[in-house]
Amino acid sequence: MMDDDKMSIEAASHLFKKMTKNDTAVIAKVLLNGKRHPLIRLDGKELGNDGCGITEEGGIKLLAYLEKTKFSIVNLNLKCNKISRDTTDKITEQLNLKKEKERKRKLKAEAQDLITEEAERMIKIKLKDVNEKAQKELESKLKDLGKKEQEIQSKEKILTRGQSELSAKLKEFEKKKETREKAKVKKEKEQKESTSPKSIKKKKTDDHITIVVAGDKDLDKELLIGYGMNVVSECKVVSDSDFEKTINGNILLDGGKSVNFTFVNTSGHDRYSRLRALQYEHADGAIVVYSAFDRVSFEDLSFQWLPEINFMGKMPIFVAGMQVDKRNNPPRPSDITEEEGREFAKKIGSNVFFEPNCADDFKKMVNTIYKEMKKKKK
């Protein structure tokens, strides 16, 4: 047998294997031994030409296979195969469909490759831009952090200096406390011994009252002290620091009586609570203030300021609602009406409630405070 004959038989056996899934070597051996199969016709005389071909039945089987199977064959020579024209045309049509499908698949794959390549290129460009932007932002943030670090160091120095001043002030308060205790004992002794009209007259002109102003909002207290500075004659700023502002001077009350007043604006910060305790201890009375438009500052009177003042001992407490011009009409839930403020004052046993909005209001309030304090001393 010639090599060309053997190749034709093996080719036929491979095609047969695709359709029947039998081993090619077995099929080739059967065909070489002269056996026949309904799908493959083999004539030994003309192997490799029309002697080895597919019958009509084999063509129909091949067509069914091509229709149902994802097969990669796109070219097939059907010459010399004894199958009908109709079957041949159908096989050719299937092959053309597969050829078109394969062409579209390749085009799609090429397009996808182009898209992927372009996407990768754009991503690289974008990443480069993002990296440059991120680098600039990082440098800017590092610069800002450097500035903030300098600011923190500067504030730490100020805080350290402030703590030193606070310690010195605390020692000074302790020393003053001792001095005042001695002065108080001496004063009580002098009052008992003083019986002459001259000494009584001197006492009336030398009256001195110290009032502590307490509350949440620094602005409320500053406004009240500001009104006082416009009323007090020969006003002196005794101290002006982070934890207190103290003014002193005489106020001419109703009836022409001049009384010396000291008003102490206390700091609301927790770190100064010990100093506030010293201020309460040496005060004759206290004014608690709140913002007429801020309910939290009003409720903190009961929550913090009254308990703190009363802890240092009983003293007359007066109530002042500040910044009434910011209160809404009709009132909002956060607003405190004049009625509500007055009811609160009665509830804590205070006969003095004001909503001062100018220096004249402050003077009226001080007149009332002085009268109330004199009543309590009798």
Q: Please, what's the b/e burial string for 196-213 (b: 16 or more CB within 10 A of its CB; e: otherwise)?
A: eeeeeeeeeeebebbbbb
pLDDT at 249: 92
Assess if residue 165 is contained within a domain. Answer: no
Residue type, 222: E
> Could you report the per-residue pLDDT of 21-63, keeping only the tens digit for each?
555 566 666 655 655 555 554 443 333 334 445 677 777 777 7
Residue that is last in its domain, among 39, 60, 83: 83
Assess if residue 92 is contained within a domain. Answer: no
Sheet holding 317-322, edge to edge: 233-240, 244-252, 258-266, 208-214, 285-291, 317-322, 353-354
HSE-up of 362 (CA within 13 Å, CB side)? 21
Better pLDDT: 216 or 32: 216
Range name among 96-100, 269-273, 301-305 with the lowest pLDDT average: 269-273
> Could you report the per-residue pLDDT of 116-140, keeping only the tens digit for each?
988 889 898 988 888 888 888 888 8
Q: In whole angstroms, what is the distance from residue 292 CA to residue 333 CA?
A: 11
Residue that is last in its domain, among 83, 116, 134: 83
Assess if residue 242 is contained within a domain. Answer: yes
Q: What is the mean pLDDT of residues 243-263?
A: 88
**Rounded (10°) angle between helices 56-68 and 3-20:** 50
pLDDT at 204: 39
| Residues 295/334, Cβ–Cβ less than 8 Å | yes
Residue that is last in its domain, among 83, 110, 135: 83
Structural domain boundaries enclosing 227? 200-377
Q: Is the peptide bond before 330 cis (omega within 30 degrees of 0)?
A: yes
Q: How confident is the model at residue 79 (pLDDT cuts 50, 70, 90)?
A: low
Q: What is the mean pLDDT of residues 167-183?
A: 81
Phi, psi of 336 (to 5 degrees): -115, 115
pLDDT at 197: 37
Whether 79 and 207 share a structural domain: no
Task: Report which of 299, 193, 208 is spatially closest to residue 250, judged by C-alpha positions.
Answer: 208
Assess if residue 115 is contained within a domain. Answer: no
pLDDT at 207: 80
pLDDT at 28: 60
Q: What is the mean pLDDT of residues 326-339?
A: 90
Q: What is the pTM of this model?
A: 0.46
Assess if residue 233 is contained within a domain. Answer: yes
Whether 209 and 78 share a structural domain: no
**Rounded (10°) angle between helices 273-281 and 85-193:** 30
Whether 60 and 209 share a structural domain: no
Q: What is the mean pLDDT of residues 8-14?
A: 50
Better pLDDT: 286 or 273: 286
Whether 77 and 215 share a structural domain: no
Domain harbouring 319, CATH code: 3.40.50.300
Task: Report which of 320, 236, 332, 254 is spatially closest to residue 285, judged by C-alpha positions.
Answer: 320
Assess if residue 327 is contained within a domain. Answer: yes
Q: How many domains, the chain?
A: 2
Assess if residue 270 is contained within a domain. Answer: yes
pLDDT at 219: 92
